[in-house]
């Protein structure tokens, strides 16, 4: 189903070379998918959808990452009919649609809340996670490149927005609302504590710290550069500094038109940028190569709203080949969907994506 051409280069070597802008046998690849399409895709591959690593192995994905399991007490209010995230305390409801379904945010406990409630919204203790289990898992990563974190680490706007709504968090960041920033700093402090304990437990095995912050709409920045520099950048710099202290590369996720902040990322010591929705303003492969090729590693750029969604397998192959034609000679490109694969995508299109990038690596 997926035709893989084996080489002497390990996944870990391939990823590290890409961050150093050195030529590799093929570009590194990655995989992210919503649960419903993942189950259909895993079935087509003949692997167990409940064992995510089987799909990653079938695709020869170069990256592996996992968070330690939270073992502490449930800190939030029960809400019948809703699902509450045990770590961050946001509430969702499963919404079915013709293609599958998704978890939609359904309750905003900090919308209109008193400052004391906002400032003291519960945050887990970094010690209440299973780092021994994480240490056992990381030993199974083999020759894959290991990352710590995810798009939710270092994130300020999105996670706070799940609790009070996006408009409220944007206003409160602009006005530097003390209660909101007090909560944000407590949550980020917890994440920093978790990451540092993971790095200690991993005993030098990790290569990359993955962070995230959505800073753009499809057509423009979501916030001003001044606001980013005043409020967000100093807080995210702490994560970059932690990664550098342990010798890790740093990659940061960002949806929408976000290249306006990439020069700041370079100054901060960030090494790579993720998602890269090519249909957003100033996010095309041509633009990214011209302005950031050789200075930032580029992860993503295969649109989830274009050929993967509405085209044929041949259209997908053409899209992937075009992206590789533009970006692969930067020696810093990693091929991945620009977001999670969506439930309404044909499975054969996803197969075409991964077969195309493997064939180009021969």
Two tokens, residue 284: 């095309």
Query: For residue 362, is pLDDT > 80?
Result: no
Instruction: Give the per-residue pLDDT at 104.
Output: 95
Average pLDDT over residues 127-151: 97
Instruction: Give the per-residue pLDDT at 27.
Output: 96
Q: What is the pLDDT of residues 267-277, one digit of tens each?
A: 999 999 999 99
Question: Which pTM value belongs to this model?
Answer: 0.97
Average pLDDT over residues 232-254: 98
Q: What is the pLDDT of residues 43-102, one digit of tens each?
A: 999 999 999 999 999 999 999 999 999 999 999 999 999 999 999 999 999 999 988 899
Could you tell me what percent of the chain has a pLDDT over 70?
100
Q: CA–CA separation, 56 vs 305, rounded Å?
A: 23
Query: For residue 121, is pLDDT > 90?
Result: yes
In order of 130, 173, 238, the CA distances from 136 in angstroms are: 10, 39, 27
Could you tell me what percent of the chain has a pLDDT over 90?
96
Query: For residue 118, is pLDDT > 70?
Result: yes
Average pLDDT over residues 187-209: 98
Q: According to CATH, what is the number of the domain 11-77+125-360? A: 3.20.20.210
Q: What is the pLDDT of residues 299-358, one digit of tens each?
A: 999 999 999 999 999 999 999 999 999 999 999 999 999 999 999 999 999 999 999 999
Residue by residue, DSSP assigns 306-344 as THHHHS-HHHHHHHHHHHHHHHGGGT-EEEEESSPBPTT
Instruction: Give the per-residue pLDDT at 6.
Output: 78
Contact between residue 283 and residue 255 where contact means Cβ atoms under 8 Å apart: no
Q: CA–CA separation, 31 vs 50, rounded Å?
A: 15
Two tokens, residue 314: 């041949």
Average pLDDT over residues 129-150: 97
Distance of alpha carbon 103 from its chain centroid, rounded? 18
Instruction: Give the per-residue pLDDT at 5.
Output: 85
Q: Tally the residues of the chain.
A: 362
Query: For residue 8, is pLDDT > 90?
Result: no
Contact between residue 106 and residue 93 where contact means Cβ atoms under 8 Å apart: yes
Residue identified by tokens 């700041």 is 264
């Amino acid at each position: 189903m997926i035709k893989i051409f084996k080489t002497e280069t390990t996944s870990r070597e391939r990823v590290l070379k890409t961050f150093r802008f050195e030529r590799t046998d093929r570009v590194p690849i990655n995989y992210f998918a919503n649960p419903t399409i993942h189950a259909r895709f895993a079935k087509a591959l003949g692997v167990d959808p409940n064992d995510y690593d089987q799909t990653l192995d079938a695709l020869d994905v170069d990256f592996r990452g996992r968070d330690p399991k939270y073992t502490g007490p449930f800190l939030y209010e029960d809400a019948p009919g809703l699902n509450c995230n045990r770590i961050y305390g946001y509430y969702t409801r499963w919404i079915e649609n013709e293609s599958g379904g998704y978890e939609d945010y359904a309750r905003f406990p900090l919308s209109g809340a008193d400052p004391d409630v906002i400032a003291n919204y519960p945050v887990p203790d970094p010690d209440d996670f299973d780092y021994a289990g994480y240490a056992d898992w990381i030993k199974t990563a083999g020759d894959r490149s290991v990352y710590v974190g995810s798009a939710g680490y270092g994130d300020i706007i999105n996670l706070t927005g799940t609790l009070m709504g996006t408009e409220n968090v944007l206003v409160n960041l602009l006005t530097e609302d003390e209660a909101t920033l007090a909560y944000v700093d407590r949550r980020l402090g917890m994440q920093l504590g978790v990451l540092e304990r993971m790095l200690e437990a991993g005993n030098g095995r990790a290569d990359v710290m993955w962070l995230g912050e959505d800073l753009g709409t499809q057509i423009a920045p979501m916030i001003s550069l001044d606001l980013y520099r005043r409020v967000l950048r100093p807080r995210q710099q702490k994560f970059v500094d932690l990664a550098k202290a342990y010798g890790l590369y740093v990659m940061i996720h960002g949806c929408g038109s976000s290249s306006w902040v990439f020069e700041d990322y370079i100054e901060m010591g960030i090494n790579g940028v993720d998602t890269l929705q090519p249909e957003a303003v100033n996010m095309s492969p041509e633009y990214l190569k011209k302005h950031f090729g050789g200075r930032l590693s580029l992860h993503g750029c295969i649109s989830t709203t274009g050929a993967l969604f509405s085209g044929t397998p041949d259209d997908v192959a053409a899209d992937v080949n075009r992206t590789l034609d533009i970006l692969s000679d930067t020696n810093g490109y990693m091929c991945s969907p620009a977001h999670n694969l969506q439930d309404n995508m044909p499975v054969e299109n996803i197969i075409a994506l991964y077969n195309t990038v493997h064939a180009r690596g021969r």
